[in-house]
């Protein structure tokens, strides 16, 4: 048993060092999160190794032999106080940087560009502000076949909003973004492993998340909160590119009013309200 425990300690460290499975190369400003995680790895790893090896030593050194008798040692307040203090110190060493980074995580910088994400079973839609730099109002009451995001047709701020329904989301390199996330059905979660950040999306409220893309590339965006039987297939794509390429892409997208005009001409009916389910 003692030998096996030593092997477990060595094996765990070896696996950690040799593992080909490690986090994806980061593509956002949240390298602080990685740093905090590494600190935690060092502290917890050291504790694990020390305790397992100490146990292995005890099991070998104090194994039963004929005539052996255990010591009688009910407690040792000094040792216990000392261990408590060291533990508290280790905990503080992990918690303090964690809370510092969290305070950055919860405070969105004022220059962050607002982008809306609408999650539905089982796909992603996006909305970027148009030339006015503002997102127009939206509500579940306005949702229709031609208005999947439920933009308020009366709100002038929304007319120039770029609506991406079923396409990829493009982001500009180095531009902080604040994602405003909504859902019209169930709880979802927007997660791009390379950005490290994620947040649930709750129907009936708007949740948000901010980060700054730090590397160009094309990344998988996945739903990370179980949302029904096709949860695993709810995937999207985020493309990070330099500012000029991003601008050029944005200019090619249709605005809300362009989409509405096109659909009015094809359907004539325009916007309609969804029927109320009978049940």
Partner 1 sequence: MSDAITGPQGGSPLLPEADDLYHPHSWWTRYVFSQDAKVIAIQYAGTALAIGFVALILSWFIRLQLGFPGLATFIGPAEYYQLITMHGMIMVVYMLTAVFLGGFGNYLIPLMLGARDMVFPYLNMLSYWIYLLAVLVLVASFFAPGGPTGAGWTLYPPQSILAGTPGQEWGIVLMLVSLILFIAGFTMGGVNYVVTVLQARAPGMTLMRMPLTVWGIFTATVLALLAFPALLVGAVMMLLDRLLGTSFFMPAIIEAGQRLRYGGGSPILFQHLFWFFGHPEVYIVALPAFGIVSDLISTHARKNIFGYRMMVWAILAIGVLSFVVWAHHMYVSGMNPYFGFFFATTTLIIAIPTAIKVYNWVLTLWRGDIHLTVPMLFAIAFIVTFLNGGLTGLFLGNVVVDVPLSDTMFVVAHFHMVMGVAPILVIFGGLYHWYPKVTGCMLDARLGQIHFWITFLGAYAIFFPMHYLGLLGVPRRYYETAGLGFVPPSAETLNAFISLVAFVVGAAQIVFLFNLLRSLRHGAPAGGNPWRATTLEWQTPETPPPHGNWGPALPVVYRWPYDYSVPGAPEDFVPQNQPAPVRAGAVP
Diameter over CA atoms, the chain: 97
Listed ranges 151-159, 162-170, 189-197, 248-256: which one lies at the site for partner 1 (CB under 8 A): 189-197
* Residue 244 binds partner 1, judged by CB under 8 A: no
Q: Build a one-symbol-per-residue string for 204-243: x at contacts with partner 1 by CB under 8 A, - elsewhere.
A: xx-x----------xxx-x-xxxxxxxxxx-x--------
Q: Which is nearer to partner 1, 5 or 135 (by Cβ)?
A: 5
Q: Which is nearer to partner 1, 132 or 220 (by Cβ)?
A: 220
Residues with Cβ within 8 Å of residue 129, at least 6 apart in sequence: 113, 114, 115, 135, 160, 161, 162
Site for partner 1 in 137-156 (CB under 8 A): 140, 143, 145
Q: Which is nearer to partner 1, 84 or 154 (by Cβ)?
A: 84
Q: Which is nearer to partner 1, 160 or 210 (by Cβ)?
A: 210
Burial 67-87 (b: 16+ CB within 10 A, else e): eeeeeeeeeeeeeeeeeeeee
d(CA 156, CA 139): 15
Site for partner 1 in 70-89 (CB under 8 A): 70-76, 79-80, 83-84, 87-88
The secondary structure of residue 267, as a DSSP letter, is: H
Site for partner 1 in 86-125 (CB under 8 A): 87-88, 91, 94-95, 98-99, 101-103, 105-106, 120-122
* Beta sheet of 177-183, edge-to-edge order: 162-165, 123-128, 113-120, 177-183, 207-211
* Residue 176 binds partner 1, judged by CB under 8 A: no
Listed ranges 1-9, 157-165, 166-174, 247-255: which one lies at the site for partner 1 (CB under 8 A): 1-9
* The one among 112, 200, 214, 254 contacting partner 1 by CB under 8 A: 200
The closest of 31, 36, 41, 37 to 195, measured between CA atoms, is 31
Listed ranges 61-69, 169-177, 242-250, 255-263: which one lies at the site for partner 1 (CB under 8 A): 61-69
Specify the 3-state DSSP secondary structure of 111.
Answer: coil
Q: Build a one-symbol-per-residue string for 13-52: x at contacts with partner 1 by CB under 8 A, - elsewhere.
A: --x---xxxxxx-----x-xx--xx--x--xx--xx--xx
d(CA 170, CA 241): 7
Residues with Cβ within 8 Å of residue 127, at least 6 apart in sequence: 115, 116, 118, 135, 138, 149, 151, 161, 162, 163, 164
Q: Least distance to partner 1 from the beta carbon of 130, Å?
A: 25
* Residue 201 binds partner 1, judged by CB under 8 A: yes
């Amino acid at each position: 048993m003692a030998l096996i425990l030593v092997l477990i300690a060595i094996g765990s460290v070896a696996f950690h060092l040799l593992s080909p499975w490690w986090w994806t190369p980061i593509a956002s400003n949240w390298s602080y999160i990685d740093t905090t995680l590494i600190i935690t790895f060092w502290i917890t790893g050291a504790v694990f190794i020390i305790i397992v090896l100490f146990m292995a030593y005890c099991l070998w050194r104090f194994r039963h032999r004929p005539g052996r008798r255990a010591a009688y040692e009910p407690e040792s307040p000094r040792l216990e106080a000392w261990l408590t203090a060291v533990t508290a110190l280790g905990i503080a060493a992990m918690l303090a940087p964690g809370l510092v980074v969290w305070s950055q995580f919860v405070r969105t910088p004022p220059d962050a560009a607002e982008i809306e994400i609408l999650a539905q079973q089982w796909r992603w839609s996006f909305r970027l502000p148009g030339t006015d730099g503002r997102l127009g109002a939206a509500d579940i009451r306005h949702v229709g076949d031609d208005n999947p995001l439920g933009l308020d047709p009366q709100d002038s701020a929304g007319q120039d909003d770029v609506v991406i329904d079923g396409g990829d989301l493009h982001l500009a390199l180095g531009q902080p973004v604040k994602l405003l996330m909504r859902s019209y059905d169930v709880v979802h979660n927007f997660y791009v492993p390379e950005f490290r950040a994620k947040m649930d999306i709750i129907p009936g409220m708007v949740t948000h998340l901010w980060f700054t893309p730090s590397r160009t590339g094309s990344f998988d965006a996945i739903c990370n909160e179980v949302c029904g039987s096709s949860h695993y297939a709810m995937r999207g794509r985020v493309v990070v590119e330099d500012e000029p390429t991003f601008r050029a892409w944005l200019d090619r997208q249709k605005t809300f009013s362009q989409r509405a005009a096109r659909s009015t001409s094809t359907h004539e009916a325009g916007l309609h309200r969804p029927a109320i389910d009978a049940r």
